């Protein structure tokens, strides 16, 4: 039973990673299209597509924040391990707990801050009238992805044998 649930969890995490990779790829294509259209318009048609700048900014923000969540899920985020590798296993575990605790605090602050910002917030982008909640929603999505990755890291930290 435990092996089956572990396989289901691994399969669902792989599905989440694959979905994020596809979404990020499509968003990158959108950014490339918008920027290329604007460059073509400016230099060939002598006309600037104002919608392209606005959409590319929104897509770029989503690319960055989804990419941050994906890198957390893949355990590929930036870390300094020089001093961590020099110390004993209990101290290393303490460093891991400190790091995981700090990430939890940041993610919870993002989620609470988003809730407070969105309470009564009605604003749209200047040209296309896209609700800014669509833009700001990238932050809690990244925070939730990072919380999932952080919870997995916490589980793995206590799962390891102290050798």
Q: What is the pLDDT of residue 1?
A: 52
How far, in Å, CA of 21 to CA of 25, rounded? 6
How far, in Å, CA of 61 to CA of 130, rounded? 14
pLDDT at 3 over 70: no
pLDDT at 163 over 60: no
pLDDT at 22 over 90: yes
pLDDT at 83 over 90: no
Rounded to an integer, the average pLDDT of 14-26 is 96
Rounded to an integer, the average pLDDT of 32-55 is 92
How far, in Å, CA of 17 to CA of 23, rounded? 10
Closest CA to 36 of 63, 14, 56, 64: 56
Q: What is the pLDDT of residue 84?
A: 77
Specify the length of the chain in residues. Answer: 163
pLDDT at 33 over 80: yes
pLDDT tier for residue 66 given thresholds of 50, 70 and 90: very high
pLDDT tier for residue 6 given thresholds of 50, 70 and 90: confident
Higher-pLDDT residue of 65, 48: 65
Rounded to an integer, the average pLDDT of 72-101 is 85
What is the per-residue DSSP string for 49-97? Answer: -HHHHHHHHHHHHHHHHHHHHHHHHTT-S----HHHHHS-HHHHHHHHH
- The reported pTM is 0.85
How far, in Å, CA of 79 to CA of 99, rounded? 10
């Amino acid at each position: 039973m435990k092996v089956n649930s572990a396989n289901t969890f691994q399969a669902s995490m792989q599905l989440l990673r694959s979905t994020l990779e596809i979404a990020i790829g499509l968003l990158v294509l959108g950014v490339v299209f918008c920027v290329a259209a604007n460059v073509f318009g400016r230099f060939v048609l002598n006309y600037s597509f104002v919608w392209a700048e606005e959409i590319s900014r929104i897509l770029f923000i989503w690319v960055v924040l989804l990419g941050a969540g994906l890198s957390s899920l893949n355990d590929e985020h930036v870390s300094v391990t020089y001093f961590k590798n020099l110390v004993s296993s209990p101290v290393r575990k303490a460093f891991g707990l400190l790091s995981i605790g700090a990430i939890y605090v940041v993610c919870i602050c993002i989620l609470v801050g988003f809730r407070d910002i969105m309470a009564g917030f009605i604003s749209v982008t200047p040209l296309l009238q896209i609700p800014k909640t669509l833009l700001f929603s990238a932050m809690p999505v990244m925070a939730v992805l990072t919380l999932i990755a952080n919870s997995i890291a916490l589980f793995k930290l206590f799962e390891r044998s102290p050798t």
